Amino acid sequence: MSTYDYADASKWRGTTILSVRKNGKIVVVGDGQVSAGNTVMKSTAKKVRTLAGGNVITGFAGATADAFALLERLEAKLEQYPTQLARACVELAKDWRTDKYLRQLQAMMIVADKNDTYVLTGNGDVVEPDKLLSGSSIIAIGSGGNFALSAALAMDDYEKDAEVLAKKSMSIANKLCVFTNDNLTVETLKIK
């Protein structure tokens, strides 16, 4: 996969990560399936983690070893810029884009704290989701990301609780994407 393929969700096989910011909560949820081609290697992987003493939530999609290497780099950036999530993400994205070793890593990440949510890619992207009319912001990555995102957007006006919305959306993604399962890891931060 070339670095230009990161933005093409159809190339990603193996996970679904969804982030919902709504009504005083930020939720990041991920499924537990690890696939190698068309084979399920593991069904209970934890692809959502807390960092920075529980103040930052991250979820990753893509190659597991690559994602862990990026998580270590993100932790270092968060230590360097402890109250500046945007700066830590931009600095990681710059390194990821320009470093010969990091440039080869095939993963994507959602990173969120009480104030902001970003998607980071190997293209150097640091994307913040749009706020919806409801005040929510919703974003997803991975092979089932578009399914979970569509479900969350459709239910946003009807489901007020961010965690319930995220879980229902992942349940829909699980029914549509063969690379997504129902073994969920859910991390939540209260915003207010």
Alpha helix segments (H runs only) across 81-136: 85-98
Catalytic residue among 15, 58, 117, 180: 15
How far, rounded to the nearest angstrom, does the alpha carbon of residue 91 sit from its chain's CA centroid?
18
**Phi and psi for 7 in degrees, rounded to 5?**
-75, -15
Active site (annotated) includes residue 50: no
Alpha-carbon span 189 to 112, nearest angstrom:
9
Q: What end-to-end distance do the CA atoms of the chain give, in Å?
A: 41
User: Measured in whole angstroms, how far is the alpha carbon of residue 108 from the centre of its chain?
Assistant: 7
- Helices marked H in 16-161 — which ranges? 64-80, 85-98, 145-155
Contact assessment for residue 30 and residue 59, using Cβ atoms and an 8 Å cutoff: yes
Cite the active site residues: 15
